[in-house]
Structure 1
Amino acid sequence: MTLLTSELRAQLIANADDPQGDHVPVAKFFNPLGPGVWLPAFLHEDGQTLFGIGDLEVGCPEYGPFSLIELQCLDVGLGLGIERDILFETTAPISVWLDIANEAGSIRAAASIIARFEREG
């Protein structure tokens, strides 16, 4: 699977114009067979370093850089790799995701909480 479409890449690059901004996550990458979820907010000018929240589901999601190449090359088993959630949409900024993920213990747990808030408006 292509993790970054040209549209997603363009949005991540646009967000990099304000790296201190509280951007909405542009995509959601996940391990289909186990722990691991990443929410990128912007792409560094090197074109390979994403910044956002990474969560290996050990109870402490973190904001920082992660490698697009490493995500693309990761073999999680059964011939599968990291995938992109093609249905992912959110209006919550990365700071809200980080706060709720840390409180709930994971990005996956935060997703249901944030989805409920977004539905209720």
Structure 2
Amino acid sequence: MILLTPELRAALRANAIAHHAAQRDGRREPDPLPVLKLFNPMGAATWLASELDADGSTLFGLADLGFGCPELGYFDLREIEAIRLPGGLGIERDLHFVARFPLSAYAEAARIAGRITEAEALLATVARARALRTPRNSDPEIPPASDG
């Protein structure tokens, strides 16, 4: 299976370019929707990617190898493509994945659930909570300050 079509590659590159431009210009970094979901058809590993570096292989997104601690970071497409599973299977692309929330919402929901999840109620709650946060209280681990 082709893991990265030309259309997906273009969308991932566009997100990476926007991210780098925001950093360069001192603007707030974008929080794009994940573009790509890869998964192990025989195990728990899942990757959601939102950006692709200029090298054509380094993806940025949310990685969950099935150990209960998903994390944001970089992963290598060539390494993922090289994985061979029993029966000659490899890592697959979820052909039906359509992100509805920004990557940050998937990351926070994964932290809560201990795995990447597409549970609509949890993702919607996390997305609403993130939208309500102010710069003064942007850390999800710190409860809101009492003003009264």
Q: Normalising by the residue count of structure 2, what TM-score does the alignment of the two structures yield?
A: 0.74
The match for 1:98 among 101, 107, 110 is: 107
Give 2:94's aligned residue.
85
Residue in structure 1 matched with residue 41 of structure 2 by the alignment:
32
Q: CA RMSD, aligned part only?
A: 1.7
Answer whether contact 1:22 1:95 (CA < 8 A) is retained. yes
Structure 1 segments of 4 or more deviating over 2 A? 112-117
CA displacement 1:46-91 (0-9 Å, x = unmatched): 1110000000111110100000001111012210000000000112
Sort the Cα spacing of 1:13 and 1:100 in 2 relative to 1 into closer, same or farther, 3 A.
Answer: same
Q: SS state of the match for residue 18, structure 1?
A: helix
The number of aligned residues is 116
Please report the TM-score for the alignment, with normalisation by the length of structure 1: 0.89
Residues 92 and 114 of structure 1 are in contact (CA less than 8 Å); yes or no, is this contact kept in structure 2? no
**1:18 Cα shift?**
2.3
Which residue is 2:119 aligned to? 112
Higher Rg: 2
Corresponding residue of 2:15: 15
Separation in structure 1 between the aligned mates of residue 121 and residue 17 of structure 2, nearest angstrom: 26
In the alignment, is the contact (CA less than 8 A) between 2:11 and 2:35 conserved in 1?
Answer: yes
Unaligned runs of 5+ in 2: 20-28, 125-148
What's 1:55 paired with?
A: 64
Q: Unaligned 5+ residue runs, structure 1?
A: none
The structure showing larger relative contact order (alpha-carbon pairs under 8 Å, at least 6 residues apart) is 1
Structure 1 pair 60–51 and aligned structure 2 pair: CA distance change class (3 A): same
Q: 1:7 to 1:100 in 2, by over 3 A?
A: same
Give the conservation status (yes or no) of the 8 Å contact 2:105–2:123: no
1:112 positional shift: 2.3
Higher strand share: 1
